[in-house]
Structure 1
């Protein structure tokens, strides 16, 4: 959650100048580290770390993004005694933990416990996937505990550190390399649905299919752990959450960015969880519906791959704001989903712009953070807020009309959807929330521009 899901987070032929930040979008109020000599900006260690982080995202957030396959299989076959909303809670709790556990794992990165956190997270992820294969039909709580809670916690231990550790090796190319890392999640969200659909719905069945995918992920996580290296020295003292949180709350641009990204997650997980089910419920063939998520994730792959290059020209804030607005508008078009062409068009277009937005989350938090020692904590805080939004967020409960109960996230979209599959209701809800998130990113842009003008004015006054 996206999922797999955190002072104001994926080609190779791009020119050196294209990878440099655009000066007009820099924040003068923040110290400029672009010329700091201790960033290697490349080398075997740095690029092996990028590859390892890519594999972590492939096995973690990429696997979570393929939950739409499980949502469809559980609803149609395996958990027929459970409602769509209850089934969606499995994936959303998973996404919530992937983001929120970053509050702890990000701090552990800053304190020098990167290898311990990655080792524990990788081992637990393998363990809980194998435990999922033991779940019985209609064993809701078995699946909820292993896939929702256990796997989500394990992936959460590795998610934020795998993105933030790239900042130890790159400064000038940070947005580009972080974009490459999150391409791993998009690549996983393309390949995992194909594999899972053919394994679980094929000859192997649920148990053996999940075991096969767990075995592959175990090998890839071992490779990732051996490839990644941290670089910065241990901090002399622990990062104070109180200090960072106080500074973050006073940073209005950072607050707007966190709220905007949190609201965006609602629309992202709604499409990721329900596109395949929506296709099948509208009478499209089972074979095509199986590949609807692949189409969506293929667009996301291209979007994440190109976002880092585009941001070099437009700037990170401009890129994420534009992608957020366009992807929010596309969510509303799901009301007209009726044919193969409409599914393909919505999937590829929404995937592209939403993927570009997801790719810029890490670089945006880095852009809004003045001290590199606070990146792990600040990314953890923002990912936690996004996790809360994808799970529950702000909710309003109607006691007289339970079908109108709503809150942020796929579970409530499932409640709005109801067992009668009234699709326009969750579409409008998710699209509206995502649009509100885009507006928060506009406010962030406005604050940054005021800050920039103020800094320029103060510098002129000081020179007089």
Structure 2
């Protein structure tokens, strides 16, 4: 018969085991993953957090993806910025592209800071500041008046900079906090959370087009939209909860960057995502304007972004399921390859049928790609403690590419609206993304 070990030895072993678990949870230098049994994989708190993150994506990145409505409205009916600036070599459309470009740049690049703050345990403070700033800037946007330079500056500061920072503070933490509750189902739940972006991008263009271009007008329409966003953000803030303890030491971005760029699959994935953004936001910002200028009906043009985002929502919903069978990397490569092929077809956009087909098909496969960005980064990250930092780095690179890509597409488009040129540029950038994925 075996003799049980002394009680003090059992206590020492238990203490040692507990210490190892705390280290693996909170120390960013520890390379071991948390055991899958440490994640609840469900429950009220976990699913309420996922729902809250869904609403954050709906109100944040979903609103950003609705900028095509403002792009069309500003260009045709609202502002004449250059008349006051007297810059004849730059078009109004280029100025409006910069507003949307700066907004997207900040939406994703601020994740470098907010992702780190999440790891440091200040999730609730970051979310509170980001939600309040986003709401404030939307109400400030409603104060802008047409045909005045200082009012154009107000639009740039509120919609371009302020709203971008606010959304950026909530974007990466809302996605990353899901990883606190799920590991085995992480790719599926993150993909479902990202459908909030598509849902917002489907519904909000309809709402904004009917509010801004309807009886309410720009000011009251934006105020109604801002009130809706404020209520949803409050609900989202109350639903989300963290679970893992904060890290005792700040993440060294120097260390994370050094380790990341030595990681060939991760670095290729980041470069591929950055290349993909050029084509994605060309369609997102210019599909409605392209439809209008090709003589398609006003009603159809207003719903062109909704058609695109409906396809994107379908792609995001199915991406998590498909990746469970094909694998996340293979699904990403397939979606990016088909997306790059579809975008070349914008050269032939002439009718409502062609615009609808392009919108649905490109939206579906680009949506599948976007839904798997965060799961892909999580999949390629060896340390759970670095997920927030790595997602922030990849988002910042993508945002920088877009900020430069949107004005470049506008310059290639020219004031004569030669649509095949930016379509080719966007298609080539998508092809580069496929090449980077294969290289990784």
TM-score (norm 1): 0.85
Q: Does the aligned pair in 2 maintain the 1:279–1:343 contact within 8 Å?
A: yes
Matched pairs, number: 399
What stretches of structure 2 of length at least 5 have no aligned partner? 1-30, 83-91
Q: Shift in Å at residue 33 of structure 1?
A: 4.8
Report which of the two structures shows the higher radius of gyration computed on alpha carbons: 2
Match of 1:57? Answer: 57
Task: Name the CA distance, whole Å, in 1 between partners of 2:95 and 2:420.
Answer: 20
Equivalent residue for 1:202, pick from 214, 217, 241: 214
Equivalent residue for 2:382, pick from 370, 375, 386: 370
- Provide closer, same or farther for how the CA distance between residues 238 and 417 of structure 1 changes in structure 2, counting only shifts above 3 A: same
Q: Does the aligned pair in 1 maintain the 2:202–2:310 contact within 8 Å?
A: yes
Q: Shift in Å at residue 84 of structure 1?
A: 1.4
Task: Name the CA distance, whole Å, in 2 between partners of 1:211 and 1:411.
Answer: 29
Query: In the TM superposition, what whole-angstrom CA distance separates every residue of 1:422-463 from its partner, at most 9, and x where no partner exists?
Result: 11111111111121112101111xxxxxxxxxxxxxxxxxxx
What stretches of structure 1 of length at least 5 have no aligned partner? 1-30, 393-408, 445-464
Q: Shift in Å at residue 32 of structure 1?
A: 8.4
Task: Name the CA distance, whole Å, in 2 between partners of 1:174 and 1:33.
Answer: 14
Q: Shift in Å at residue 285 of structure 1?
A: 0.5
Q: Does the aligned pair in 2 maintain the 1:332–1:427 contact within 8 Å?
A: yes
Query: In the TM superposition, what whole-angstrom CA distance separates every residue of 1:370-411 from its partner, at most 9, and x where no partner exists?
Result: 11111111111111111110112xxxxxxxxxxxxxxxx112
Equivalent residue for 1:260, pick from 255, 261, 272: 272
Match of 2:126? Answer: 117
Match of 1:67? Answer: 67
Match of 1:171? Answer: 183
Task: Name the CA distance, whole Å, in 2 between partners of 1:34 and 1:351.
Answer: 36
Task: Name the CA distance, whole Å, in 2 between partners of 1:441 and 1:135.
Answer: 43
Q: Does the aligned pair in 2 maintain the 1:99–1:383 contact within 8 Å?
A: yes
Secondary structure at 1:37's aligned position in 2? helix
Secondary structure at 2:402's aligned position in 1? helix
Q: Shift in Å at residue 36 of structure 1?
A: 2.3
Task: Name the CA distance, whole Å, in 2 between partners of 1:352 and 1:141.
Answer: 36
Of 80-89 and 44-53, more deviation after overlay is shown by 80-89
Superposition pairs of residues 261-410 of structure 1, within 5 angstroms: 261-392=273-404, 409-410=405-406
- Provide closer, same or farther for how the CA distance between residues 51 and 261 of structure 1 changes in structure 2, counting only shifts above 3 A: same
Answer yes or no: is 1:235 the counterpart of 2:244.
Answer: no
Task: Name the CA distance, whole Å, in 1 between partners of 2:35 and 2:110.
Answer: 33
Match of 2:102? Answer: 93
Of 53-62 and 138-147, more deviation after overlay is shown by 138-147
Task: Name the CA distance, whole Å, in 1 between partners of 2:343 and 2:99.
Answer: 22
Task: Name the CA distance, whole Å, in 2 between partners of 1:334 and 1:81.
Answer: 29
Task: Name the CA distance, whole Å, in 2 between partners of 1:78 and 1:305.
Answer: 37
Task: Name the CA distance, whole Å, in 2 between partners of 1:308 and 1:215.
Answer: 32
Answer yes or no: is 1:212 the counterpart of 2:207.
Answer: no
Match of 2:193? Answer: 181
Q: Does the aligned pair in 1 maintain the 2:32–2:383 contact within 8 Å?
A: no
Q: Shift in Å at residue 80 of structure 1?
A: 3.7
Q: Does the aligned pair in 1 maintain the 2:339–2:366 contact within 8 Å?
A: yes
Secondary structure at 1:429's aligned position in 2? helix
Aligned Cα RMSD in Å? Answer: 1.3
Q: Shift in Å at residue 240 of structure 1?
A: 1.2
Q: Does the aligned pair in 1 maintain the 2:39–2:180 contact within 8 Å?
A: yes
Task: Name the CA distance, whole Å, in 1 between partners of 2:282 and 2:80.
Answer: 21
Match of 1:427? Answer: 423
TM-score (norm 2): 0.89
Match of 2:37? Answer: 37
Answer yes or no: is 1:127 the counterpart of 2:136.
Answer: yes
